[in-house]
Structure 1
Amino acid sequence: MDTIKNILSPLGMSTGAIQDTLKLVVIGGTVETARRASVSAWNGFVDSFFLTAHFSQDDYPYDWLMHWLAKQPSWGRSREFEITTRSVNRNGITQTTTGDLEEEEEEEDALVHGRRKRKVAFMPSLDTTHTIYYCGHWLRITRTKAYPDYRHGCSLKISVVARNNDILKKLVLEAKREYEKDAEHRVHIFMADTSYGCWRWNGARQKRPMSSIVLQPGVKDMLLADCKDFLCSEEWYAERGIPFRRGYLLHGVPGSGKTSLIHSLAGELGLDIYVVSLSSKGMSDNTLTTLMGNVPSRCILLLEDLDAAFTRSVSRDEKSTGAPTAATAKEAATTETTDGSTLSLSGLLNSLDGVAAAEGRLLFATTNHIERLDPALSRPGRMDVWVNFTHATKWQAEGIFKCFFPFKPSTPATATTSTSPKDPSQQNLPLPKRKATTHAIPLLTEDEISELAKKFAEAIPEDELSVAALQGYLLKNKTRPRECVDEVGEWIIQERETREKLKKEKAEREAKEKKEAEEAAKKEKEEKEAKEKEEKDEKEAKEKQERKERAAKAKKLRADATAKSDSSAATTPASTESTPAADTTTSSESTASSESETSTGVDADTEESATEEETDKASSAEDKKEKWVAVKSTSAAAPAATTTITATTDAAAAPATTPAAEAAS
């Protein structure tokens, strides 16, 4: 206490104020502690009677329960809600609540200025607890969002007063049954997310009936039977130690129905489709391995356009059919640096049938050019079943025509079936509101449809037009079956002319590109040659300048040596008079040395001028010769100087001795 008083006294507080402040702090802290303890105890007491389940938006049970809650009346009568038009669930069906606006209760297909009406729904707000009565229990439901900036961060918490979790199990199973019932006619599509290495729901599509796929006889039945047999043979594979995987390679011309067949098979088997884009940004060996390992069992894994999506490494050796050319390799290197994809063929092979590869899935791969694939990628074990897709045949054309145009049923027409009015006076009366896809199609008899289909098939050339082209033509004439047959010949002529025109334009474009490439290569070659010539000229000029500098330097060294020898000879005039013999000898030696140096200098100059026109090899030899001349000149000057100095010394000593001898005599 005294310490606290000493601290607070400089602040001008009296002893009474300090005591009152301390009392207030102690009492406030005690009350707050008691409040927190009581709240914690009460929450613990209440929670002991509740069972709580948490559901994440990334998993299916969240969608089951949200779909189930959307149908509950109390969920739509929430006191705190948000108005939204984005009430489409993962299964692709609209979540309807009792809080929808009255005007939205009108006909679903009603259009406003050509656009479909948007349904406005009242959804309970986030971070708000709602109470729902279910099977004799009160459910407390709270929807929260863990990450505001992350669209998949919502979660659902359900609490119920119960002794065990049977009520929660019953709730989840009921929600699942209703969800699957409403999503029975839809196929879920999942796309690979390379940023997080996981799968993201991309949408739900209506199932496509197998009858809408017209292939060669027996192909659909074979594939469907093989897929069903595989899905029921898990124990058989396990007993024999065979990996529980199956691969299908669909190859052929574009627009022949490969992807449509996969969509139809997924709907027939009740499987989801997981799509992988091998050329997507950020795709690497590790990412692909992680994605393949997270693929659930009993699903379809789709690799579309395998030859086009995997251009950087379709082959592991240059001798393979799909080995990229030099230009392709250069382009691939550029692409790899720009899109950040580092996927290799080995990584793809390991992800398909490696140790970490998922089992129980049906792998479908499509390609338009099977010859570009590496044999290791298309071998059995990875691609077990091959199906070839060709252009449309006459049999396919007849089947597609029958699929597009329905025939009049033999049973009496129902309330939803319209027939042509028997009374001609009633033909101009307005027809009842029907869907745009059926109300304008005239219903013909089965014999009439068969006859028109045969005529249509006879007009179609064998193996020339794609199935997609036929489908496009029939879509344009979906309400005119007779006109469709009558005009098919003209359409075929137009298609041929269009193909010829496109082929001609492609040839011209390729020729133009080839010509431009040749001109660019020629220009690049000329620029390269000019640059090489310029560099060569610069190099020769530089070498010539260096040779001149070396010659001048050698000449200067010789001149210095000559001047030094001359100066040494000039410093001894007395010795020249006393010893004429020595002087004569020295002079003769100096003259000889000078003549030698002069002749050497002349030779060096001559050799220098000759060296300027020789090659680099001669230049090197000349450099060595010039160095040798310089050394020789220096060594020649040195003995001359030594002789001169010696002669001078002897001459100086001689006069000194002669007077002494004369004096002695």
Structure 2
Amino acid sequence: MNNLPNSYPKTNVQSENVINSVKLAWPAVGLFSVFATLFKSNSYLFDSVKLLLLGRRFTQWLLERINLQYWITSQFNEGDPAYEWIIHFLTYQKLWRQSLSSRVFATNSKRKWSIGSSEFNGTTAKGSAEYVPTYESPQLFRWNGYWVEIRRSNQNSKLSPPQFSVGNNKTIFVTLYTTDFSVLSDLVEEARQRYIEVSKPDVIVYTADMQAASSIPKHSIFLIEDIDCAFPSREETDYDTASFFAGFPISPSHPSRRSAVSLSGLLNVIDGIGSEEGKLFFATTNYIDRLDPALIRRGRIDKKLQYSLATREQTAAIFLQFYPESQSQNMSEKSELTTMSEKFASCLPIDEFSTADLQGYLLSWKTQPSQAVAGVLDWVKLERAERRKRKEREEAEREKTRRKCKSLKLNASIHPQRPVSL
């Protein structure tokens, strides 16, 4: 009985906690009851939402079945000639003259790819630079009574083979708000005609990288300069691979001329299944011995033209080209230039210097033909000395490489290593 008075305060405390909890939860309970009452009294809201969802799905189903479309969309991929047509056409239309974002390029062509600095700030274009808008956002303009929308996208080509995947693919989408396909044909034809009209004074050269090689136009010229730099021959590749798997602790000392271009990919472009008839294939090289025999066999390379070092006649002709007789009105001076050209050619050994070497020497005496003739013997001695030193340095490097390879082979025979598994 003495403990009873002590139990009453605990009961009072618990009652107060329950009351406080009810007070805190009462707003939520009241809000729930309000919503419950609202939805019970307005059950038609649920039916309205259901009807709206059903109507939306039915509309989508109906549009997919009827296929209502009031526009034509075409795609132009970079690397194809049509891409350049449409770029030049849109530039001619001054579509992006209000663009605030642009890329700056040095002017190196008669073809107009930019909108010019005057389009930006109203000043006179100086002609030394081109300002090409980035045209990232869609653009809308009117052409021949039709609305045309232009947008561009950059995306990686996942379908291209590895030897053809080079960076990003730039694509331009042209949307014509009409169902008449002939309108699209007229637009492309106008773009092509404008491009050809501007390009008439020049030779149109398609710089085909490996990604665009499969889309080389028919009846075109396919040119690869310094083809020996594109890939090593199979003999060189086999030597490097054998050296690596023989147990060498490091890779060969000479740098491998690897690139993203494969020999098989190039051979398929030249005469593979996907090759087109009517193409003329040209290639240049300074080291024909480095080319793979499969590349230069008959049927792929039918004609080989060797440009040898300068002959005596070529040397005299180069001299006269630098100091033309037409600049002189005196017949005696003309004959004197001819005599100097013959003397200049006689001082030079045959098939020892290239025309580029002679051009470099004559440029140092551009307006002094007599001094060019007088100093040619000293120049020959200097060139021979430099060549001899360069050859000695190359021989020393090769000897150093041979000694290093010999040491590596010796170490590999003493301490054989397991080949690296691929």
Aligned residues between the structures: 360
**Residue ranges of structure 1 left out of the alignment (5+ in a row):** 1-8, 109-116, 193-197, 200-290, 316-323, 412-444, 533-665
2:297 to 353, 376, 379: 379
> Could you say what secondary structure the match of 1:82 adopts?
coil
CA 1:53–1:165: 2 relative to 1, 3 Å = same
The alignment status of 1:132 with 2:142, answered yes or no, reads yes
> Could you say what secondary structure the match of 2:306 adopts?
strand
Per-residue CA shift, 1:453-496, capped at 9, x if unaligned? 44433332210112332233344444555544443332222101
> Letter of the aligned partner of 2:234 in structure 1?
R
1:70 to 91, 102, 108: 91
> Could you say what secondary structure the match of 1:156 adopts?
strand
Correspondence for 2:186: 170
The alignment status of 1:497 with 2:363, answered yes or no, reads no
The Cα of 1:167 is off from its aligned counterpart by 3.8
The Cα of 1:89 is off from its aligned counterpart by 11
Aligned equivalents of 1:376, 1:88: Cα separation in 2: 41
> Could you say what secondary structure the match of 1:142 adopts?
strand
1:473 to 355, 361, 374: 361
The Cα of 1:65 is off from its aligned counterpart by 1.8
Q: How does 1:387-536 map to 2 (within 5 A)?
A: 387-404=305-322, 408=326, 450-478=338-366, 480-514=368-402, 520=407, 524=411, 528=414
> Letter of the aligned partner of 1:188 in structure 2?
Y
CA 1:36–1:363: 2 relative to 1, 3 Å = same
2:169 to 152, 156, 168: 152
The alignment status of 1:188 with 2:211, answered yes or no, reads no
CA 1:17–1:90: 2 relative to 1, 3 Å = farther
> Letter of the aligned partner of 1:141 in structure 2?
E
Correspondence for 1:310: 232
> Letter of the aligned partner of 1:504 in structure 2?
E
Aligned equivalents of 2:263, 2:91: Cα separation in 1: 47
> Letter of the aligned partner of 1:495 in structure 2?
E
The Cα of 1:51 is off from its aligned counterpart by 4.8
> Could you say what secondary structure the match of 2:207 adopts?
strand
The alignment status of 1:142 with 2:176, answered yes or no, reads no
The Cα of 1:393 is off from its aligned counterpart by 1.2
CA 1:449–1:86: 2 relative to 1, 3 Å = farther
Structure possessing the higher radius of gyration over alpha carbons: 1
Aligned equivalents of 1:405, 1:52: Cα separation in 2: 59
Correspondence for 1:84: 102
Aligned equivalents of 2:227, 2:385: Cα separation in 1: 28
Aligned equivalents of 2:277, 2:268: Cα separation in 1: 13
CA 1:308–1:25: 2 relative to 1, 3 Å = closer
TM-score by length of 2: 0.64
The Cα RMSD (Å) is: 5.0
Per-residue CA shift, 1:19-64, capped at 9, x if unaligned? 46654455467678579969x98xx99954x555443345322321
Aligned equivalents of 1:183, 1:294: Cα separation in 2: 21
Q: Is the 8 A contact 2:340 2:370 kept in 1?
A: yes
CA 1:155–1:307: 2 relative to 1, 3 Å = closer
Correspondence for 1:651: none
Q: Is the 8 A contact 2:231 2:257 kept in 1?
A: no
Aligned equivalents of 1:165, 1:89: Cα separation in 2: 37
Correspondence for 1:96: 114
Q: How does 1:146-295 map to 2 (within 5 A)?
A: 147=155, 151-161=168-178, 164-184=180-200, 185=202, 187-192=205-210, 198-199=211-212, 295=216
> Letter of the aligned partner of 1:176 in structure 2?
R
TM-score by length of 1: 0.44
Aligned equivalents of 2:114, 2:363: Cα separation in 1: 33
**Residue ranges of structure 2 left out of the alignment (5+ in a row):** 1-29, 158-166, 417-422
Aligned equivalents of 1:462, 1:339: Cα separation in 2: 33
CA 1:53–1:351: 2 relative to 1, 3 Å = closer
Correspondence for 2:222: 300
